[in-house]
Structures are given as structure tokens and as C-alpha cells.
Structure 1
Amino acid sequence: MADGVVRDDQALLEDLADGDLAALRQLYDRHAPWLSVRLTRRCNDGEVVADVLQDTFVAAWQGAGRYQGRGEVGAWLWGIAIRQLVSRLRRRHNVPLLRDPGASTAMSPSLEDELLSGVEYGDLGRAMAHLPSELRAVIQATVLDGLTTREAGHLLGIPQNTVKTRVHRAKASLRASLLEGRPS
């Protein structure tokens, strides 16, 4: 950041791709608070959220040069964050189940952990991977993240009615894909 000039996210990501760590700091300061809140909605373990947040910005730093400039940087960061969280939760499943000495059954993963893993790695995840990026982004924002259409529109930089239209198209495509048993 030269002389206190506030740069937009796109410019920050371009500068980050060129190795500007001040750009990383500004992206972090701008996006970490809301990312943390959204991650906390999916995982109530503060340590896991903090690790995922850190991993998200490391991945953004390493992958800044691969950002294609389509969509909002915030949506791109959220995509990284949710994949980091799912990956972290999936690794948890590979750990042997712990037994509570006073309980007769093993502790099992939460329903939320199982759902996140299913969305990322199950039939729905495969179907979503075949959606065009603009449809996938609105589904992630509205369905998976629980944002209103207004919030999703703001995050993605598109009108609220466009969000509604894309959600409708995405759901129809996912429904058809899942009923056929293969991604469209």
C-alpha cells in the first residue's frame, strides 16, 4: 500500500501475486473478521477456526497468481476457507474414535461435520463441481453459507434478483444431475 492508498481486493490480490506481503495484511484485515464469523457458524471449536483462517490466508498467498479475476475476491477466499475447514474436519474422521470412560459408546463426528464432508466429497459435491462457477458461487453463498440473497448479492457483486435467478438455475441443474446419478 503506497502512501496510505486503499486498494480494492482485486488490486491487492495482484500485488500479493507479486509478493507484496502488505497486500496480504490488508486482505487479512479486511476479510478475516467475517470469515471467522462464518467459519464459527460451521465449527464451534475456536482453535480449529483460527487454524483454518490462517491456512486460508496461506493458501491465498500461495495461490494469488492463480486467481482468474472472475467474481469477488471475498467469494474466492470463502471458497478456500470452506475447503480448508472440510479438509480439517475430514482429517478428524481419520483419527480413531475416542472413548469416554463413563460412556458405553464411542464419540462420533457431529452431524454438521458429516454434512460438510458429504457436500464436499459426496454426490452433491461432485454435482456442484460441474456447475458453472457463477451458479456454484450463489449456491455456496445462499445454501451452504446461509446468506440471504441480498447478502450473497453484496458478497458476489451482483444484483439480488440475479442471485435468485442463478439459485433457481443451479438447483434445477443439481436436481437433474442427482436424479440422473451423474454430474451434468
Structure 2
Amino acid sequence: MTANTRELTPETLAVLLERVAREDAAALRELYDIAAPKLFGLALRILSKHEWAEEVLQDSFVNIWRFAGDYRRGLSAPMTWMSAIVRNRALDHLRRVDTQETEWSDALDDLVATGDPDPEALSAVSMQARLLDGCMQQLEPAQRQAVALAYLRDQSHSEIAETLTVPLGTVKSWIRRGLAKLKSCLGGAR
């Protein structure tokens, strides 16, 4: 049976995971062909960048290959188990990435791409970016991550709560306190 004719059923996935646990590379390829689209969508939803989601998906399948023997049918469905691996890899990736630097770099690239801005405009944007980055670094890590996801990734509070696996009220508190600290920091710098 080829990967194209197999369906994404828990039984099919469980059988493939058992074969992968026995280091069957063909089973891993088939598992990838069947499950990767759904798992890629999960990674992309968390990360919002196509290239990051691709990287996380590849890392996740390396982990699936390495830890397929740890999968237990009685504890969770195969897709749930693989989704947890992808989700954890995506969250690890978010923690590693310096979100502010990436976003400000993209903003500067966009500014340069929209025409020939004068050097003063670039200098002002660069100075504002450095100032904001300095203030962001003064926030607690959880506040910094919540503010970055809300304002640089344009995620809703609910999405942030789901991404960080914390209660919605906690996210709202982190963002409120983070914005207050940023306002104080940026107001004092002017």
C-alpha cells in the first residue's frame, strides 16, 4: 500500500509508529507523507513563519524517529503524541529566537524596500528600534515573550495563552505590566 492510498487514521499512524520504532525508514517516509501536512499546519500556526515551521517539522520528525519506541497506544492517539512533539519543538524555537531583533530587521528591510528612504529616516528608525529593544530587555522573560507575540506577531491574547500554555488572565497581566514598563522606559528616554 502506498502513502498516497493510506488514510490519516489512528490505527494507520499507530502501525507506522510501531514500524518506525523498529527503525523502518520506509515507514518513517510514509508517516511523513501522511502526517506532515497536518503537523506543518500546527507548527506554522505557532511560529507564523514558513521557514521556521519547516525547520521545526524536520526536527520533530527526527525526534519521532528517535523516540517512536516511547509511544504508547493506551496513553494517547498517535497524532496527539506527534502534535505534542511538534508543539514543544515550536515553543522551544520561539524561546531561542530573538523575536524583537528579527521583527525590527524585517521592518528595516521593508522600509528600505519601499523606496529610497533618506539616511535620517533610517537612522531614526534604527535608533527607535535600539531604544525599544533595550526597554524590551528590561522586561521579565514571560512579559517580553507575551508582548512580542501580541504586538510583533499580532497574536490575540487567546492565541498567546494557547501558545504559551498559560491561563488567559496570566497573559493579560503579563502584557498589561509589560506595556506599563515599556511606557515608563520609553517615556523616560525621550
> In structure 2, what is the Cα distance between the partners aligned to 1:65 and 1:13?
8
Q: Match of 1:89? A: 94
TM-score under structure 2 length normalisation: 0.53
Identity between Structure 1 and Structure 2 (%): 27
Larger helix proportion of the pair: 2
Whole-angstrom distance in 2 between the partners of 1:89 and 1:116:
14
Give the aligned partner of residue 19 of structure 1: 23
Q: How many residues align?
A: 122
Q: Does 1:119 align with 2:164?
A: yes
| 1:36–1:83 distance in 2 versus 1, CA, 3 Å | same
CA deviations 1:63-98 (Å, max 9, x no partner) are 101112222111111100010000001001499686
Aligned to 2:149: 110
Residues 5-53 of structure 1: CA deviation (Å, up to 9, x unaligned): 9571111111111100111111111111111122222222111000001
| Structure 2 counterpart of 1:76 | 81
> Deviating runs (4+, > 6 A) in structure 1?
94-97
Which structure 1 segments of 5+ residues have no match?
Answer: 126-142, 144-184
| Structure of larger gyration radius | 2
Structure 1 residues 86-121: Cα deviation after superposition (integer angstroms, max 9, x where no partner): 00010014996867554213466332689369725x
Report the alpha carbon displacement of residue 55 of structure 1 after superposing the two structures with TM. 0.7
Contact 1:89 1:117 (8 Å CA) reproduced: no
Compare 30-39 and 14-23 and name the one that shifted more. Answer: 30-39
- The answer to whether residue 26 in structure 2 is matched with residue 31 in structure 1 is no
Give RMSD over aligned pairs.
3.5
SS in 2 for 1:8: helix
CA contact (8 A) 1:86 1:117 kept: no
